[in-house]
Amino acid sequence: MKSAVRFIQCSLIVILSGCLPTVTKVYQAPKVSGQIINLQTMLPMEGVKVAHQQRKQETVSSDVNGRFVLPSLSATEFKLLMAAHAISNNQVIIAHGGSQTILIANATLNGQYEELVDFSFILFDTQPQNIAQPIESSYKKHDLLSSYFSEGNLLASCNQELSAAALAALNTSRKLARSVTSDEKMTSMANDHYTRTAEVWDVLKSSCERSNNNYREIDQIFEGIGAEISVISTGG
C-alpha cells in the first residue's frame, strides 16, 4: 500500500513539475553552416576541416567556395523533458594547415528539434605566427597573455584548447582593427569576428578554476579583454 502511495506521489511531482520521462531523439549539437574566408587574401578557402568538439574525428571540408555544412549531433535517449530549456555553448573546431580556431554555436541543450547555426562569413587567419600588438598600450600584449596559461601560472587551470583559440581570435581581432576599411561587407565580417572573439573568451572564463586567492586577478584579466574587444568593435 505504501509503495502504491509513493508511486502516485512521485507521478504527481513529475506531472506538476512539467517533466515527462520518455524515450526520444535529442540533439546534442546543432547543424552548422558558413563560408570560410582567408584573412590575408579575403578569398574563400577550400579544404578547411570543420568538426564538433564532441566528435573531432567526424569532419566536413569547405568546398571551392569556402562553404560547408556540418551535420547536427543527435542520439535516442531516455530523458525527462523539461517545460523550460537551457542553452548549450557548443564548440565548433575549424582547422587548416596546422592552425585552428574555435567558434561557439549556441543551441538548445538536448533539444527535441534540429537547430541551425549559420555563421555566414568566418575569417580564418592563415598566418597566426604573425602577432599583432594591442591597439592601446594599456592592454596586455600577446606574449604576456599567453604566459598566464602556462603551467603553474594564473590561468593554467583553464581549458588549454580554448585558451589557444581565444588567444588566436584576439590576435585576429587586433589585425582587423589595424585594417579598417569603409567596405560594408568587410566591416560586417569584422564585427562578426569581434562578437565571436568575445564569446570564446566568455566560455573560456567559465572553464577556469578559481580560489579565494586568485578570483579577482582572473576577473581583471578577462575584464581587460572584454574592454579591448568593446573598444575595437566600436572603432574607438
Q: Mean per-residue pLDDT for 105-114?
A: 88
The two beta strands, 31-38 and 67-70, are: antiparallel
Please give the pLDDT value at position 120.
93
pLDDT in tens, 194-229: 999 999 999 999 999 988 788 899 999 999 999 999
**Of the listed ranges 16-30, 172-186, 200-214, 220-234, the one predicted with least confidence:** 16-30
Alpha-carbon distance 144 to 198, whole Å?
A: 19
What the block records as the C-alpha cell of 77 is 535517449
Q: Mean per-residue pLDDT for 26-42?
A: 95
Task: Quote the mean pLDDT of the chain.
Answer: 87
Alpha-carbon distance 183 to 229, whole Å?
A: 20
The 8 Å CB, 24+ separation contacts for 149-155 are 154/214, 154/217, 154/218, 154/221, 155/208, 155/218, 155/221
Check: CB of residue 54 under 8 Å from CB of residue 29.
Answer: yes
Alpha-carbon distance 208 to 220, whole Å?
A: 13
5 in the Ramachandran plot: left (φ > 0), alpha (ψ -120 to 50) or beta?
alpha
DSSP 3-state of 33: strand
Please give the pLDDT value at position 183.
82
Please give the pLDDT value at position 8.
44
Asked whether the CA dihedral 14, 20, 21, 27 is positive or negative, the reply is negative
- Sequence ranges of the domains in the chain: 19-124, 142-233
Please give the pLDDT value at position 17.
46
Selection from 70, 103, 89, 82 nearest residue 26 by Cα: 82
- CATH of the structural domain 19-124, one choice from 3.30.720.200, 2.60.40.10, 2.60.120.260, 1.10.10.10: 2.60.40.10
Does residue 83 register a pLDDT over 90? Answer: no
Higher pLDDT, 83 or 54: 54
What the block records as the C-alpha cell of 181 is 576599411
Does residue 3 register a pLDDT over 90? Answer: no
Check: CB of residue 115 under 8 Å from CB of residue 85.
Answer: no
Higher pLDDT, 2 or 51: 51
DSSP 3-state of 169: helix
Please give the pLDDT value at position 234.
84
Please give the pLDDT value at position 25.
81
Asked whether the CA dihedral 132, 226, 228, 210 is positive or negative, the reply is negative
Please give the pLDDT value at position 85.
63
